[in-house]
A and B are shown apart, each in its own frame.
Chain A
Amino acid sequence: GESVGLHLPTLSVQEGDNSIINCAYSNSASDYFIWYKQESGKGPQFIIDIRSNMDKRQGQRVTVLLNKTVKHLSLQIAATQPGDSAVYFCAENWGNTPLVFGKGTRLSVIA
């Protein structure tokens, strides 16, 4: 499959700080990107998505940034809370091909 990688496998942040989770992708044809959060013992849950015709999208406390020039995706979490501790996956696809997932980043929030 295509390579969807991460710059950092683990990230520790202080409660209340902002978190930034990064993701690199290699397929320039990818036109859809998505972030998932997986808490311990649960399946991944949708956080936010973005299409390639946008470079930024905001949700509740989360922002996804897409830089197509360098094939880079990031998830920003504002005012990180203990409940944000989880593994975060980025994924991409193009057309109707199935999503290709990255290896995940573990976010640990320090109280």
Chain B
Amino acid sequence: DVKVTQSSRYLVKRTGEKVFLECVQDMDHENMFWYRQDPGLGLRLIYFSYDVKMKEKGDIPEGYSVSREKKERFSLILESASTNQTSMYLCASSFRPGGEKLFFGSGTQLSVL
């Protein structure tokens, strides 16, 4: 069974902390994505990567960075967490660029206090 695994289901952090959200896929996909999901706003793209060492900003990259050292792993970093970054974070991967038939992880619900 193909899988996108996010390291934490729930995470509670304090304002100003550096936060790492890890994502691993076992499908040998080139393309990986980080979305943020908030009630009433749908899924919004934070960053994406179409190749190892490559990263592109999405629609809402401010306050975030990413790391893609290995093909299967795509990490989202909150340099200095703020309360407005409390959200559900979804990682996804796809075989094709652009994200056709994205496979999603189960999400990480992050609370910043």
Contact = CB atoms under 8 A, between A and B. Distances in A.
- Mutual binders A and B: yes
B102 A99 contact: yes
B92 to A, nearest CB: 8
Contacts of B107: 42-43
B61 interface: no
- Please tell me the size bucket of the interface on B: 20 to 34
A110 to B, nearest CB: 22
A95 interface: yes
Nearest to A103: B42
Interface residues of A, number: 26
B45 A46 contact: no
Given A103-B40, A103-B41, A43 B90 contact: yes
Contacts, number: 64
Given A43-B90, A44-B90, A49 B100 contact: yes
A27 to B, nearest CB: 13
Given A1-B45, A98-B33, A104-B42, A43 B97 contact: no
Contacts of A41: 106
Given A95-B98, A98-B33, A43 B106 contact: yes
B43 A34 contact: no
Given A1-B59, A98-B45, A103-B40, A43 B4 contact: yes
Given A1-B59, A98-B98, A98-B99, A43 B42 contact: no
20 contacts: A1-B59, A34-B100, A34-B101, A42-B106, A42-B107, A43-B4, A43-B106, A43-B107, A44-B43, A46-B102, A49-B101, A96-B50, A96-B96, A96-B97, A97-B98, A98-B98, A99-B45, A102-B42, A103-B40, A103-B41
Interface of A: 1, 4, 9, 32, 34, 36, 41-46, 49, 89, 91, 93, 95-104
